[in-house]
Amino acid sequence: MGVMTRVLSGIFLALLALPSEGGVLKKVIRHKRQSGVNVSLPEENQPVVFNHVYNIKLPVGSQCSVDLESASGEKDLAPPSEPSGSFQEHTVDGENQIVFTHRINIPRRACGCAAAPDVKELLSRLEELEVLVSSLREQCTMGAGCCLQPAEGRLDTRPFCSGRGNFSTEGCGCICEPGWKGPNCSEPECPGNCNLRGQCLDGQCVCDEGFTGEDCSQLACPSDCNDQGRCVNGVCVCFEGYAGADCSQEVCPVPCSAEHGTCVDGQCVCRDGFAGEDCTEPLCLNNCFNRGRCVENECVCDEGFTGDDCSELVCPNDCFDRGRCLNGTCYCEEGFTGEDCGQLTCPNACHGRGQCEEGQCVCDEGFAGADCSEKRCPADCHHRGRCLNGQCECDDGFTGADCGELQCPNGCSGHGRCVNGQCVCDEGYTAEDCSQQRCPNDCHGRGRCVQGQCVCEQGFKGYDCSDMSCPNDCHQHGRCVNGMCVCDDGYTGEDCRDLRCPRDCSNRGRCVDGKCLCEDGFTGPDCAELACPSDCHGQGRCVNGQCVCYEGFAGKDCKEQRCPSDCHGQGRCVDGQCICHQGFTGPDCGQRSCPNDCSERGQCVTGHCICIEGYTGEDCSEVSPPKDLIVTEVTEETVNLAWDNEMRVTEYLIVYTPTHADGLEMQFRVPGDQTSTTIRELEPGVEYFVRVFAILENKRSIPVSARVATCLDAPSQMEVKDVTDTTALVTWFKPLAEIDGIELSYGIKDAPGDRTTVDLTHDENQYSIGNLKPDTEYEVSLISRRGEMSSNPATETFTTGLDAPRNLRRVSQTDSSITLEWRNVKSAIDSYRIKYAPISGGDHAEVDVPKSQQATTKTTLTEIDAPKDLQVSDTTDSSLTLVWRTPLAKFDRYRLNYSLPTGQSAEAQLPRDTTSYVLRGLEPGQEYTVLLTAEKGRHRSKPARAKASTGAPSMVTVDGTQTETRLVKLIPGVEYLVSVISMKGFEESEPVSGSLTTALDGPSGLVTANITDSEALAMWQPAIATVDSYVISYTGERVPEITRMVSGNTVEYALTDLEPATEYTLRIFAEKGPQKSSPITAKFTTGINTRRAGNSPL
């Protein structure tokens, strides 16, 4: 390896070191090598390439000029008789390869200077170089050096770019003409490189077996379909009566499925995943919905689908595990958003007070918090308080809007000024917080100052403790004179505390607190009177020591009581009260008594009880019972009861128990003014024993009872799933009641005569329905049965799926379009939606294609089509109204561009559902060019163009004596600029201007159509003015008013959830900002609910 490196280096340096007396080449041709001179050879099984750069100077003068880029005469640059200026040397073996590439291109016939001395010297150098390379080749041929085996060499001589291209000095190579390729444009190029399915010979493709076409892109059919079919994209479409890959077989008596089997010797040989006489029975669930292959009875789904039967759409990026995937759409968890839940959301959308960046709010100035919901406080309260709703709550010791000021204790109590946190008290106040008042004369040092008042020491008084005080202030019963008490009449003592007794108790008792405590035998306030025994017990008067008893009392001390009327001889007198004999009552035993005193629930009249309301019986001890218990309505879980009771009671107790063994008794209560109730949460299909008690003051009456059985419940949680175009699976939960079986019935909705009924056992919980029609609404119902009993039906509706289009094929294609054709579906559809995108990635596009009335539908896919029929529907002096029709392709938005008179352009982005737009603020009498394009992602349609001019200002001339005039022929809902100019002769005043907006005109031609028992369609003509919305309100008898708002582009609205057989009043008016138009009114009457009427019980 070292020898070869030194040889190559020597060659290169020798060429650079040789002197040259020629001029500088007009353009330098460079070929850059890929590695340095000192090369480390790789392993033996890898090729080695040596590239060299030669800077060759040619003589420049009047005799010789070189034009390397001239294409004329290039075929004469290197005739075959002359040595070639381009040389490539290859050594090739099975394990290693060495390539010597020499780019030496000399246009020898560019001028007639081949005999010049400098050119001869240059050719001599090239010959020396070829001698060196030849010796190196011989060395490799001998097996020495770096070559392991003898090598082969080739010397090529060809014209410059072979006359089929131009040489570029920027890329140091040939730019070939179409149809040619190679470093010297000498190799023919075939269309599409024969799609790697053939060989390119002289520019034409010789296709491999199985392919055909100009570029070998078409599949060849076997045996040319034996003239018994047509060859379509490599597959034989056999004529009627023939089958097989090459249409060589006759069809079987029972036609085999073309997709799932092959007819061999008159019998169908089914492919994997299918069985049956005609191979139409899939072994995989739902035949994988034609979205996958059936392999070993399991679906291998196509890209974009998943599930056991490939019925589920795959979500983008599996929603990044941040949401749930439902039918191909991500329902993101809280905190994430986007088509694939790949974007973080911010809490509460930052409340519109900040920007959301990677899930975190960057709040605007003045707001803070995780969701920017908190207001920021001034200077962040200087970190001396808490920020609450934008206001500072300062810590102790600080104050101010931003807590920047020191706070004085208690705010100086409102009696001073706060200076640097210290109180400067007002006159008359003191203490650290100025909370204490100063006392007059400082209490003369004879007391304490408390809240501005003197609390004097003992012996002193006065507001400033300047006066001497008496003991206990003489108890307010005397005057203080020089510290001594002068007592008032009736008081005595040092401090006038003691009361004086009248006449000093006549010396017959003691004086205590001003009252006499008389000795035995005396009484009176002054003990001057004689006392009676026991003070006559308070039941008489004491007169000179003797008791004079009051009425009803007797005895020496009036202690004994007398009974009224001496109990009429019908009782005993005890302590003045009569204890009556049995059968009598009253304070004097003069009345006849009732049993148990009527239990205190009535009045006793001449020995008989008259009971109060709610009680009955001889002694009023019984509660009035309910009567006439009836069962008004029974369902699976409820029973409605009703009863009568002429008496008022507190409440009713309802007790109910299943009649079967081990039935649990249950009860509840209802108010006494209620004579009906509903028993709830019962078991379906069970008999209950029901009793009703009246209760008055916690006492029960005798019950009234009844027996009732609840209805059977229908199967619950009925669900129709796995719906295809021809099948559906019905599932349900078994009813709670004991049943004998379940009846399943299904058929096309609104076609009651065409139904199918299936009887199922009681333990079945699902049933698969087949042979359904595509895109058809079906109704299925379930009924529980036990003996003669049956439940109400559980009903569910479902719509079968659309059958998929079949036999999609490419008819033709160009560089900008492709034509597709497929067989139409059986479903009654309006259109197909085609989605397509580059395989290499990028935005996908969608287009809706109407269904053809033929057996197949054909369409051509191109770029997004432009908006259709763009035109100007109305013009004013300052606005243009544009209208257009929506393109067929699926798109995201419109982009509207129009030119201004200044030469600048304006742009507006419009929602995809927009079909009209008003350009406002335009200049009068100017022509505008409008371009409207549809956009989807980075794709943009060709623009739709329109030109229009704004109207010129209108002018009205009125008499100079007038001060008002009427402007006519204005457009509703349009703002006008009005200017008034005074004129006299040819002189004009400055204009006085103002603006006005005309009122909105309302919609017109309101009608209703498609009226059913619950729906109607309202249609109207739009207002002339451009409005924001229409307000729709409708009401009927006993139906509250319902109000809805729709877009101003809408001219019809479906009214739903209406009441049957009801007359409705419909009102519609237009809105634009704060403006409202006058309403338009119509009336209509809904139809009768025939289904409800037909199912009503007899």
User: Is the Cβ–Cβ distance between 557 and 536 less than 8 Å?
Assistant: yes
Residues 998 and 923 in one domain: no
Last residue of a domain, one of 653, 687, 709: 709
> Residue type at 755?
R
- What stretches of 80-186 adopt beta strand conformation (E)? 87-92, 97-102, 165-168, 173-176, 180-181
Confidence (pLDDT) at 69: 38
> Residue type at 1013?
D
> Residue type at 717?
Q
Residues 924 and 1046 in one domain: no
CATH number at residue 937: 2.60.40.10
Residues 694 and 726 in one domain: no
Burial-class residue 76 by CB neighbours within 10 Å (0-12, 13-18, 19+). Answer: middle
Asked if the structure places residue 241 within a domain, the reply is: no
Q: Which of 1091, 1044, 1040, 1090 is nearest to 1067 (CA)?
A: 1044
Asked if the structure places residue 94 within a domain, the reply is: yes
Confidence (pLDDT) at 707: 92
Residues 644 and 689 in one domain: yes
Confidence (pLDDT) at 994: 86
Distance CA 1031, CA 1071 (A): 7
Asked if the structure places residue 530 within a domain, the reply is: no
Measured in degrees and rounded to the nearest 5, phi and psi for residue 1094 equal: -70, -25
> Residue type at 720?
V
Residues 22 and 165 in one domain: yes
Confidence (pLDDT) at 115: 57
Residues 16 and 108 in one domain: yes
Residues 692 and 785 in one domain: no
Asked if the structure places residue 352 within a domain, the reply is: no
DSSP 598: G
Last residue of a domain, one of 922, 953, 984: 953
Distance CA 652, CA 692 (A): 7
Asked if the structure places residue 819 within a domain, the reply is: no
Asked if the structure places residue 446 within a domain, the reply is: no
In sign, the C-alpha dihedral spanning 937, 938, 944, 947 is positive
Residues 769 and 899 in one domain: no
Burial-class residue 354 by CB neighbours within 10 Å (0-12, 13-18, 19+). Answer: buried
Confidence (pLDDT) at 105: 53
> Count of residues for the chain?
1098
Measured in degrees and rounded to the nearest 5, phi and psi for residue 162 equal: 60, 15
Asked if the structure places residue 1030 within a domain, the reply is: yes
Residues 982 and 1064 in one domain: yes
> Residue type at 875?
T
Question: Which residues of the chain register pLDDT less than 50?
Answer: 1-53, 55, 57-98, 108-111, 143-159, 1092-1098
Q: Which of 231, 229, 228, 205 is nearest to 219 (CA)?
A: 231
Measured between alpha carbons, how far apart are the two ends of the chain, in Å? 111
Q: How many domains in the chain? A: 5
Residues 167 and 134 in one domain: yes
Residues 21 and 146 in one domain: yes
Containing domain of residue 674, as a range? Answer: 624-709
Confidence (pLDDT) at 271: 75
Element (H, E) at 694: strand 687-696
Last residue of a domain, one of 743, 770, 799: 799
Return the residue matching tokens 């019809």: 1052
CA distances to 258, 627, 783 from 286, in Å: 18, 63, 28
Task: Region of 404 please: left (phi>0), alpha (psi -120 to 50) or beta.
Answer: alpha
Confidence (pLDDT) at 107: 52
Asked if the structure places residue 429 within a domain, the reply is: no
Residues 926 and 975 in one domain: no
Distance CA 599, CA 620 (A): 6
Distance CA 185, CA 175 (A): 8
Distance CA 652, CA 703 (A): 10
Confidence (pLDDT) at 292: 85
